[in-house]
């Protein structure tokens, strides 16, 4: 659906040049909800704006639905943009127009007749749950309602792609969840391909099937959401996950673990990752019975990623005659991610 190759964007000014994007390569499949996460200034919003050529790339290619975007004439680009909707962090609604008028605006620009406009606006407001707000003005709406108007407007011309630029970062947590649920519902009902730019890992967790991590203008890691959450390969990804999972041992545990390691002649302190159905099984109880070791849980966390359970435990194992090591080998053999924790 979207194929990006060697995409580079360089800004030039009197003070010098800045490379906002550096050799980006991405494949986004039809119907996917694809997340792009990075810190402020990493290049994620520039990448999004390059996809619909609001920013013209310095080099590289962007192909959408078989069409090479960078080679289009102004007239062709105008037509192609009708297939690409966009929603923004700060809504960008027309304050002088009602909710109905804001959603109708792109349809008027596209030259639809009044009957078609009326039908489309009515259907879209019903889709986003704002039928009762058709005659209200943006100043009379909450932040979540404004974003729903923005979503309805972005869908007005039946796009095949929806670009979401920090669409929930101006909203409170409860409203954020309702907007993310709406986007997921729209994806399932209409089959629209979505590209979601965010700096919030919780947004990725809630709705994205795949994710790319951007750092200093480059994609440093990409894969399925579950892969990135369960086995992050880069420090950037681990930093994003710290607030949600125990990807790094909490500071308050380190002194305790150091003392434990010093006193365990034949024991280990380990971090164990649980993924999928195995989270519901009594694995630690089985290990205790099978190998005769003691298991003391020091810390734990469990959550759900795209319907798949995910958890992390920090466990102290004690045993004699190599039983602790055999227990750890067993855990690895049955598919758990096991890491011995050594604090120097």
Query: Quick one: 172 and 320 in the same domain?
Result: no
* Mean pLDDT, rounded, for 191-196: 97
Name the helix (H) or strand (E) containing 305: strand 294-305
Lowest average pLDDT, out of 6-10, 143-147, 278-282, goes to 278-282
Name the helix (H) or strand (E) containing 310: strand 308-318
Find the CATH number of the domain harbouring 224.
3.40.50.300
312 DSSP assignment = E
Query: Quick one: 53 and 135 in the same domain?
Result: yes
Q: Which of 209, 241, 273 is the last residue of a domain?
A: 241
Query: Quick one: 106 and 149 in the same domain?
Result: yes
Query: Quick one: 106 and 210 in the same domain?
Result: yes
Domain assignment present for residue 326? The answer is: yes
Query: Quick one: 179 and 283 in the same domain?
Result: no
Give bridge partners of residue 10 from the DSSP assignment.
19
Mean pLDDT estimate for the chain: 88
User: For residue 246, is pLDDT > 50?
Assistant: no
User: For residue 251, is pLDDT > 70?
Assistant: no
Domain assignment present for residue 324? The answer is: yes
List CB contacts of 189: < 8 A, sequence separation 6 or more: 127
Query: Quick one: 133 and 279 in the same domain?
Result: no
Which pLDDT belongs to residue 272? Answer: 85
Domain that holds residue 16: 2-241
Q: pLDDT tier at 309 (50, 70, 90 boundaries)?
A: confident
Q: Which of 198, 219, 241 is the last residue of a domain?
A: 241
Query: Quick one: 42 and 140 in the same domain?
Result: yes
Q: Which of 189, 206, 241 is the last residue of a domain?
A: 241
Q: Hey, how many other C-beta atoms are within 10 angstroms of the C-beta on 68? A: 11
Query: Quick one: 208 and 277 in the same domain?
Result: no
Domain assignment present for residue 196? The answer is: yes
Domain assignment present for residue 190? The answer is: yes
User: For residue 257, is pLDDT > 80?
Assistant: no
Domain assignment present for residue 246? The answer is: no
| Residue pair 212/240 in contact by the 8 Å Cβ criterion | no
* Mean pLDDT, rounded, for 44-56: 94
Q: pLDDT tier at 278 (50, 70, 90 boundaries)?
A: confident
231 DSSP assignment = S
CA dist 219 and 234 (Å) reads 11
Cα-based distances in Å from 260 to 80, 194, 196, 249: 63, 48, 44, 14
Token couple for 90:
């700060």
Tens of pLDDT, residues 28-48: 999 999 999 999 889 999 999
Domain assignment present for residue 198? The answer is: yes
Cα-based distances in Å from 99 to 102, 106, 130, 139, 281: 5, 13, 9, 10, 51
User: For residue 61, is pLDDT > 70?
Assistant: yes
Which pLDDT belongs to residue 190? Answer: 94
User: For residue 259, is pLDDT > 70?
Assistant: no
Q: What angle do CA 334, 336, 342 make, to 5 degrees?
A: 130
Query: Quick one: 196 and 273 in the same domain?
Result: no
Q: What is the number of structural domains in the chain?
A: 2
User: For residue 313, is pLDDT > 90?
Assistant: no
Query: Quick one: 134 and 153 in the same domain?
Result: yes
Domain assignment present for residue 218? The answer is: yes
136 DSSP assignment = -
Domain assignment present for residue 227? The answer is: yes
Query: Quick one: 117 and 55 in the same domain?
Result: yes
Tens of pLDDT, residues 78-92: 999 999 999 998 899
343 DSSP assignment = -
Query: Quick one: 86 and 148 in the same domain?
Result: yes
Find the CATH number of the domain harbouring 279.
3.30.70.260
CA dist 341 and 323 (Å) reads 17
């Amino acid at each position: 659906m979207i194929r990006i190759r060697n995409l580079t964007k360089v800004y030039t000014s009197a003070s010098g040049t800045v490379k906002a994007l550096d050799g980006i390569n991405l494949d986004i499949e039809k119907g996917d909800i694809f997340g792009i996460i990075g810190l402020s200034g990493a290049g994620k919003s520039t990448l999004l704006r390059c996809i619909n050529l609001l920013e013209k790339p310095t080099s590289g290619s962007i192909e959408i639905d078989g069409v090479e975007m960078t080679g289009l004439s102004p007239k062709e680009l105008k037509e192609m943009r009708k297939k690409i909707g966009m929603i923004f962090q700060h809504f960008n609604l027309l304050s002088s127009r009602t909710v109905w008028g804001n959603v109708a605006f792109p349809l008027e620009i596209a030259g639809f007749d009044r009957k078609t406009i009326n039908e489309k606006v009515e259907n879209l407001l019903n889709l986003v749950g704002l039928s009762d707000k058709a005659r209200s003005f943006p100043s009379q709406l909450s932040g979540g309602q404004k974003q729903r108007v923005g979503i309805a407007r972005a869908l007005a011309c039946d796009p095949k792609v929806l670009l979401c630029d920090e669409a929930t970062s101006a909203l409170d947590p409860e409203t954020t969840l309702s907007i993310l649920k709406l986007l997921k519902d729209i994806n399932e009902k209409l089959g629209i391909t979505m590209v979601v730019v965010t700096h919030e890992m919780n947004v990725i967790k809630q709705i994205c099937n795949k994710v790319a991590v951007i750092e200093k203008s480059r994609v440093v890691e990409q894969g399925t959401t579950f892969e990135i959450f369960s086995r992050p390969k880069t420090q950037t990804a681990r930093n994003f996950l710290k607030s949600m999972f125990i990807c790094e041992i909490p500071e308050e545990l380190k002194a305790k673990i150091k003392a434990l390691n010093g006193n365990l002649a034949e024991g280990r302190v380990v971090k164990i990752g649980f993924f999928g159905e195995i989270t519901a099984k009594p694995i630690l109880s089985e290990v205790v019975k099978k190998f005769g070791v003691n298991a003391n849980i020091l810390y734990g966390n469990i959550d759900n990623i795209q319907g798949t359970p995910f958890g992390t435990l920090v466990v102290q194992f004690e045993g004699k005659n190599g039983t602790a090591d055999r227990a750890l080998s067993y855990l690895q053999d049955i598919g758990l991610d096991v890491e011995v924790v050594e604090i120097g």
